[in-house]
Amino acid sequence: MIAKFLSLRKSKRTLRNIHKLYARKSKSLDTYVKDSIEQYLKALQSAIIKKDATEAKQISKDLEAASLKLLPKSSFDKARDFTTGILFALFVAVLIRTMWFELYTIPSGSMRPTLKEEDYLVVSKTDYGINVPLQEKHFYFDPSLVKRGSIVVFNGANIDIADADTTYFYLFPGKKQFVKRLIGTPGDTIYFYGGQLYGVDAEGNEITEFRDFQNLEHVPFIRFDGKAETITAPQKGNLFSSVIFHQMNQPIAKLNLTSLDTIAGEIIPQRGRSPIANYSDFLGMKNYAMARLLTETQARSLHPEIELGKGILYLELTHHPTHIGASLIQDEYRRIRPEFSLSTSLIPLQQSHIDKIANQMVTCRFTVKNGIAARLGMDTNKYKSYLPHLDDVPDGTYEIQDGKAYKLMFPQIPLLGVFTNGVTKELSGDHPLYRHDPERIQLLYNLGIEFLNQYLPSSKHNYLAPSRYAYFKNNDLYLMNGPILTKEDPILIEFNKNELEKKYISTTVRPYHPFADNGVPSLEEIKKNGVQVPEKMYLVLGDNHAMSADSRHFGFVPENNLKGGVSFLFSPPGQRWGRAPQPEISYTTLPNLTIWSTFIAISIASTVYYRRKVKKPLRFDS
């Protein structure tokens, strides 16, 4: 039955195409050719009307052979038909891709562990509205359909994203698309504590949706100085005397080198809000520290002023950026500029703590070749002299997630038309990546995201800090979304005691801010020090804060940039296959019903039109 349907369908297409070609050339044909073609066309139409698939198939073959001989296409005809076909296909593809759905491949690890590099997704373009093709507009948009926690797709138009330009089908200019989790809607105020999100909505009510994805870890900044914008011309020696610091792409603080060679700081008031008291109060940055692992030699060299306890490794915590005691530095762009002062703490770690870090370890996806490790996609020739060594690890592509090491099995090998880059296999417990010795854990922790030796703790003036963060939650100290030192741990008890003592003996000229658990924020704290999402804007974050350029970097996403949401993951196969963890989306919304009903209506109308056209007497008078 299906074969008969498909055969008749092909015969109908042959009838339409050759009849169209005949009508176009009939005036230049002689009587014999016209009569021959007309007889074939009438016979084929009769067979189709009778639904005789066998006869129609044979006549179609004869008609096609006759048309090649009697109705040959000129070069112009072929070029015109090819161009028309391509343009029509592009037109339909653009409409479908921009207004209905498209397939999308995850290019980076910013959404780990929810979505990984080379995951293949189906993206729905009707989740929130009806998009205008190739423009940053909507025919229709319903803000109530945008749910906190949804995984959204947006483009980079009018956002501070470098290299956001692209082309669709190598022809139409456009903007690259990005996938992140939507956190804040217009009017929301968002605050960070304990790796979690807290917020109030535009009416001042607590946002409870954040509790639905508390398994994810969230950090309010990428680095303490955020974006450091120099606003004066460089002086002698590439010195910049004034710097504005941005978080969430908003100007928060300013440091100035005065004529007396001192550094003065000021907080920049936010529109319509009272100024925050201290830079580190904003977003709850004071609740977080940037973290590295040091050997005893490194700890003594970098921090001779700190008394060390006995440890195998030392957890270095830098925290509480402040303008008091600020100094001049040379940053990674070789600018000499003012920089915040940071408080520093050290915690001695024992093997039990190192084991916990190993069991929580998370890295980017990385390659090992001839003992040299590099972040996947990195130009190894350019950075060859800066790459770390994993001499005992066999060649391959690896990733570590929650302490489990995996190897990619089939990089760049297509399976059933889909590249299986994402298929991984968990490694056995005796693999070298499971080593828990201090040297291996220090390397993986300090370099496991960037995989560049510039991030090694080699100098006190090395301002390239790895994307590793520490925070308190319920009085336990967390790294990589897991408690490394619990509140009952004698080492953490001693650490908390020492932090308070350092605060009491510090001076007003250079105060010390202890790194401690400030507790779950009150609604007043959230409103006062959180970031407020402007009207018609949205705040988005990557699930993998350590590898995500998101609203912390480029700021808020305009409403017009929201293009849809992730429906489900269809490759690679495995436990993550299917719908991504996010709030349920209704399929009976106006945008969905409009696009689907339009597609169904066009399909039905086209089918009816062509069925009737086949049954109508063919016209041969042109």
Residue 611 lies in a domain: no
pTM of the model: 0.87
CATH code of 176's domain: 2.10.109.10
Neighbours of 231 (CB within 10 A): 12
Task: Examine the domain organization and report whether 169 and 284 are in the same domain.
Answer: no
pLDDT tens digits, residue range 244-260? Answer: 999 999 999 999 998 88
Q: Residue 304, preceding bond cis, omega within 30 degrees?
A: no
pLDDT tens digits, residue range 439-496? Answer: 999 999 999 999 999 899 886 556 788 999 999 999 999 999 999 999 999 999 999 9
Dig out the tokens for 202 from the structure: 């535009």
Smallest CA-to-CA distance from 318 within 298, 296, 340, 300 is with 340
Residue 200 lies in a domain: no
Task: Examine the domain organization and report whether 167 and 231 are in the same domain.
Answer: no
Smallest CA-to-CA distance from 213 within 573, 518, 564, 581 is with 581
Task: Examine the domain organization and report whether 496 and 434 are in the same domain.
Answer: yes
Are 314 and 347 in contact by the 8 Å Cβ rule? The answer is yes
Are 62 and 37 in contact by the 8 Å Cβ rule? The answer is no
> Residue for token digits 């509480």?
320
> Which of 485, 505, 525 is the last residue in one of the domains?
505
**Residue 447: what pLDDT?**
96
Task: Examine the domain organization and report whether 172 and 231 are in the same domain.
Answer: no
Task: Tell me how far apart the alpha carbons of residues 379 and 293 are, in angstroms, rounded to a whole number.
Answer: 27
Task: Examine the domain organization and report whether 458 and 562 are in the same domain.
Answer: no
**Residue 411: what pLDDT?**
56
Residue 8 lies in a domain: no
Task: Tell me how far apart the alpha carbons of residues 596 and 119 are, in angstroms, rounded to a whole number.
Answer: 26
Task: Examine the domain organization and report whether 476 and 580 are in the same domain.
Answer: no
pLDDT tens digits, residue range 393-432? Answer: 999 999 999 999 999 886 554 444 444 556 889 999 999 9
Task: Examine the domain organization and report whether 115 and 260 are in the same domain.
Answer: no
Domain count, the chain: 2
Task: Examine the domain organization and report whether 501 and 541 are in the same domain.
Answer: no
Range of the domain at 182: 95-186+533-585
Q: What is the CA radius of gyration of the chain?
A: 32
* Percentage of residues of the chain with pLDDT beyond 70: 94
Neighbours of 604 (CB within 10 A): 10
* Strand, coil or helix: 31: helix
Task: Examine the domain organization and report whether 181 and 235 are in the same domain.
Answer: no
Task: Tell me how far apart the alpha carbons of residues 287 and 536 are, in angstroms, rounded to a whole number.
Answer: 29
Residue 622 lies in a domain: no
Task: Examine the domain organization and report whether 292 and 436 are in the same domain.
Answer: yes
Smallest CA-to-CA distance from 39 within 69, 17, 16, 62 is with 62
Residue 487 lies in a domain: yes
Residue 59 lies in a domain: no
* Chain mean pLDDT for the chain: 88
Q: Is the pLDDT of residue 281 over 80?
A: yes
Those residues whose C-beta lies under 8 Å from the C-beta of residue 478, and which sit 6 or more positions away, are 194, 195, 470, 471, 472, 484
Residue 481 lies in a domain: yes
Task: Examine the domain organization and report whether 300 and 372 are in the same domain.
Answer: yes
Residue 521 lies in a domain: no
**Residue 234: what pLDDT?**
83
> Residue for token digits 């700890």?
299
Task: Examine the domain organization and report whether 414 and 495 are in the same domain.
Answer: yes
pLDDT tens digits, residue range 567-603? Answer: 988 888 778 888 888 998 888 899 999 999 999 999 8
Pairing state between β 537-541 and 177-184? antiparallel
